[in-house]
Amino acid sequence: MALYEHQSLKIYNSISGEKEEFKSLTEGYVGMYVCGPTVYSNVHLGNCRTFISFDLVFRYLKHLGYKVRYVRNITDAGHLENDGEEGEDRIAKKAKLMEIEPMEVVQKYSVDFHQILEKFNNLPPSIEPTATGHIIEQIETIKTIIDKGLAYEVDGNVYFDVMKYHENQYYGKLSGRKIEDLISNTRELAGQSDKKNPQDFALWKKAEPQHIMRWPSPWGVGFPGWHLECTVMSSKYLGDQFDIHGGGMDLKFPHHECEIAQGHASNGKDPVNYWMHANMLTLNGKKMSKSTGNNILPRELFTGENENLSKSYTAPVVRFFMLQANYRSILDFSDEALSAAEKGFHKLMESLATLQTIKTSTTSDFDVSAWRDKCYEAMNDDFNSPILIAHLFEAVKQINLAKSEKIKLSKKSLELLSKTMNDFIFDVMGLEDLEENSKASSNTDDFEELIQFLIEMRNHARLNKDFETSDKIRDKLLEMNVELKDSREGTTFQIHS
């Protein structure tokens, strides 16, 4: 029986504003889509927070035994400068600035993005599609929406007809925005564009001669609107309806609101069952952002080279700092908070080492099973990592008491405690003990050096026709799962696990 069958996971659904019992569309499987980065500059720490928040979700769902298909796109076309309908494509603008091809910009910053997320120990998504790889599908979806009478073409541009859609559906159901307010807020722009109504948004835009990212379409040469790519890629890989859609809070409107409208317009269904929005990382009380320059780059954290930092921090410490806040709360970045997180992180890692040294008794004073339930309850309550961490620190306290023999722990309790700590710290929270890992790898180096030495001893024995010793060495190593292979070039070894 899978773990999820014993747990009742609740997810805060942004569309209802409530925590709802999670039930996947297909038992045992979860489809999750998260809006990925626009790869026109180095990923900043704010972006990382959002992707770490959804990595926690991905990891916990997997831990519960779900088979998760996690799709996270790369936006490499169509995202204009001011998130709206006007301005230059962010990637093309950077390409001009750097005097390189737009796809060189995409490659450079996609590589950076992957390297940084790997440092933070984020698991890669199951599929990572790009907008430029799905232009044909985007054109097909636009045709469908036009056929349904919910989009119109004007002079090479195709717009989604929000008012027409709103006659039967509620445009604003996710963001809570009222269509009347949208109309009055955008009134001054009316008449300045070729749209029927200013709140209509572009599905396809005509490329002006200077626009270098361009594709042919039934409406002329142009490029797809930013909102459309996520509708197309999510439905292509997860179906017209899927379980979870995530992204940063700032994407709720217009991006996700438009995704609902596009999905419904083309398939007659709301595409997503659970909308999840991760809150922002702030610096000096203001949102970290690429465009304003109010941000910290992860590499600056790892080297300590930033005016906001007193020293460098490792990726697991930064990840731990982020997980100390609930993903739906704003988190303000500061050197002091990070330094406090570092102390907490080390305490947690030390307690894992202490666990190995505890002497067990026949009875237990700490109810590990009840404590373990509380850890699951915290995660089942909309992935509440700060509460989980509080429970882990309760265990740290008990581990220290057991170490100094102030409380007793049975062998069974100790095993369950150890397994639960490891499960939550490494599998679910995705933390890494870099010091332990480097100790382990230097242990491996030492072991290999020892094998080399024994091979030399064996060669020496063979030269002296002392086959008893040489066989003994080979057999002993084999007992330790080390197989020696002799060839004309010499002796090599293979360690079998």
**Site residues for ligand AMP per CB under 6 A:** 35, 37-38, 46-47, 49-50, 247-248, 250-251, 280-281, 287-290
CA 315, CA 337: separation in Å to the nearest integer? 15
In the complex with ligand AMP, the residue whose CB is nearer, 33 or 345, is 33
Q: How far is the CB of 289 from ligand AMP (least distance, A)?
A: 6
Q: How far is the CB of 287 from ligand AMP (least distance, A)?
A: 5
Q: How far is the CB of 90 from ligand AMP (least distance, A)?
A: 9
Residue 484 as a binder of Zn ion (CB under 5 A): the answer is: no
In the complex with ligand AMP, the residue whose CB is nearer, 292 or 481, is 292
Q: How far is the CB of 202 from ligand AMP (least distance, A)?
A: 17
Q: What angle do CA 279, 110, 307 make, to 5 degrees?
A: 60
Binding partner of 365, given ligand AMP, Zn ion, none, CB within 5-8 angstroms per partner class: none
Q: How far is the CB of 281 from ligand AMP (least distance, A)?
A: 4
In the complex with Zn ion, the residue whose CB is nearer, 230 or 261, is 230
Q: Say if CB 270 and CB 54 are below 8 A apart.
A: no
CA 143, CA 277: separation in Å to the nearest integer? 30
Structure tokens at 132: 């430029």
Helix orientation angle between 434-463 and 335-355, rounded to the nearest 10 degrees:
50
DSSP 495: E
Q: How far is the CB of 234 from Zn ion (least distance, A)?
A: 8
CA 114, CA 133: separation in Å to the nearest integer? 18
Size of the site for Zn ion (CB under 5 A): 2
Binding partner of 379, given ligand AMP, Zn ion, none, CB within 5-8 angstroms per partner class: none
Say whether 429 sits in a helix, a strand or coil: coil
In the complex with ligand AMP, the residue whose CB is nearer, 104 or 250, is 250
The partner residues of 495 in beta bridges, in order of sequence, read 482
In the complex with Zn ion, the residue whose CB is nearer, 202 or 399, is 202
Residues 223-252 that bind Zn ion (CB under 5 A): 230
In the complex with Zn ion, the residue whose CB is nearer, 35 or 207, is 35
In the complex with ligand AMP, the residue whose CB is nearer, 142 or 251, is 251
Q: Which of 30, 32, 35, 318 binds Zn ion (CB under 5 A)?
A: 35
Q: Where are the alpha helices (DSSP H) in 212-297?
A: 226-238, 257-267
Binding partner of 230, given Zn ion, ligand AMP, none, CB within 5-8 angstroms per partner class: Zn ion
In the complex with ligand AMP, the residue whose CB is nearer, 113 or 204, is 113
- Return the half-sphere exposure (C-beta side, CA atoms, 13 A cut-off) of residue 202: 24
Q: How far is the CB of 197 from ligand AMP (least distance, A)?
A: 26
Among the residue ranges 31-39, 41-49, 201-209, 420-428, the one whose residues contact Zn ion (CB under 5 A): 31-39
CA 323, CA 343: separation in Å to the nearest integer? 14
CA 217, CA 223: separation in Å to the nearest integer? 9
Q: Say if CB 113 and CB 308 are below 8 A apart.
A: no
In this structure, the strands spanning 222-224 and 242-248 are unpaired
Start-to-end CA distance of the chain, whole Å, equals 28
CA 456, CA 479: separation in Å to the nearest integer? 19
In this structure, the strands spanning 242-248 and 272-278 are parallel
Binding partner of 250, given ligand AMP, Zn ion, none, CB within 5-8 angstroms per partner class: ligand AMP
Residues at the contact surface with Zn ion, assessed by CB under 5 A: 35, 230
